[in-house]
Amino acid sequence: MCSKVLISIIGPTAIGKTKLAILLANHFKTEIISADSRQFFKEMAIGTAVPSTWELSRAVHHFIQHKSIHEPYSVGDFEKDALNTLEGLFQNHNIVVMVGGSGLYVDAVTTGLDSFPKVDSGIRETLNKELMDNDIEILQSKLKVLDPSYYEKVDLQNPHRLIRALEICIGTGKSYSSFLNKPKGQRNFKVLSIGLKADRKVIYDRINERVDIMMKDGLLSEVRSLLDKRDLNALQTVGYKELFEYFNGNWTLDFAVSEIKKNTRRFAKRQTTWFKKNPNTLWIAYNYLENEMIAQIEEAVGELQNE
C-alpha cells in the first residue's frame, strides 16, 4: 500500500491555482511545491505572478524565487530537486500539494522525463546564436524539416523547447519524437491531479484583469531593470519580451500591453490542451464551494491511499 499522495493542482494561468493550493495545504496541514517554471527566478516577481507575501505566509512554499536568471536551471534539474524535496516532505506528511501551470515541469515530477542521449553542447550554442541573430522562425523552419511530428505539437513560440528538440535532432541524427513516451522511472507516491476549469470568456477576462494589475503594480519598472539582461533565456517569456519591444522603440506601450494579454490568452489555451491529455484529472469549477470541493478531494485521496 502506498499511503503518500501528491495532490497536483493544474489549470490555465490566472484561474486561481495558488488560492486552491493554499486552501488544501492548510486543510491537510502540509506544504506546497511550485511547478511554475517562471516563478523560480528572483528577478521576475511581478510578471510571473509570484504569490504575494501574504499568500506565502499562509503555507510553506518550495521553489519560489530560489534561482537567479543568471543560473541555468533545466526541467531535469527541477525533477531531481523536486523529488529530493518530496522525499523529505513525505517523512513528515502523508500528503503534499504541488501547484503550477508549466505542464512539462508538472509531468517531470508526476511521471518522469523522457530520456535523451547527450549531445555536443556546441550545438545548443550555435542554435542560441541563430536565435539571437535572426527571428524565431528560423528555428521553427528547421524543426518542421527535422521533426514534422513534434513540430505539430510543440509550442512554436517557446525558444527553449525548439532549441532542445533541434539539438537532439542535429546531435543524434534522429527525430526528437523518437525518444518520447518510453517507459520512465517509478514514483514511490500516488498522484491526485486536480484541474481547475472555467468558460473561456471567464479565463480570458481574468487574464486581462491580471495583466492590468501587473502594470499597476510596477511591471514596467521591473522589465526596465532587466533591459541589459534581455537576451537571457529566462526572460524570453510573455510579459517581458513584449515590453522589451516597447523599450526598443518598436511598439507603443498600449500595443505592448495588448500583446501581453493576447499572448497570455494563447498560453492559457496551450496549457488547457496539455493538461487535458491526462484522463485521470479530476476537474473542478474555478468557483467551487469550498466544503464540497474539500469533501470530494478527501474522498479521492482516501481511495488512492487505500489502493
Is 16 annotated to bind ligand? yes
* C-alpha cell read off for 35: 511547478
Is 281 annotated to bind ligand? no
Is 17 annotated to bind ligand? yes
Distance CA 286, CA 289 (A): 9
User: b/e string for 38-54 if b means 16 or more Cβ within 10 A?
Assistant: bbbbebbbbbbbbbeee
Is 103 annotated to bind ligand? no
Is 15 annotated to bind ligand? yes
Is 18 annotated to bind ligand? yes
Give, to the nearest 10 degrees, the angle between helix 290-305 and helix 17-27.
60
Are 131 and 159 contacting, i.e. CB atoms less than 8 angstroms apart?
yes
Is 30 annotated to bind ligand? no
* C-alpha cell read off for 2: 502506498
Are 133 and 231 contacting, i.e. CB atoms less than 8 angstroms apart?
no
Distances, alpha carbon 126 to alpha carbons 71, 160, 163, 244, in Å:
20, 13, 10, 23
Distance CA 211, CA 239 (A): 8
* C-alpha cell read off for 57: 505566509
Cα four-point dihedral sign 162, 167, 169, 174: negative
Distance CA 166, CA 146 (A): 8
Note the Cα 136 to chain centre separation in Å.
21
For 204, other C-beta atoms within 10 Å of its C-beta total 19
Measured in residues, the chain has a length of 307
Are 250 and 259 contacting, i.e. CB atoms less than 8 angstroms apart?
no
Annotated binding-site residues read: 11-18
Annotated binding-site residues for substrate read: 13-18
Annotated binding-site residues for ATP read: 11-18
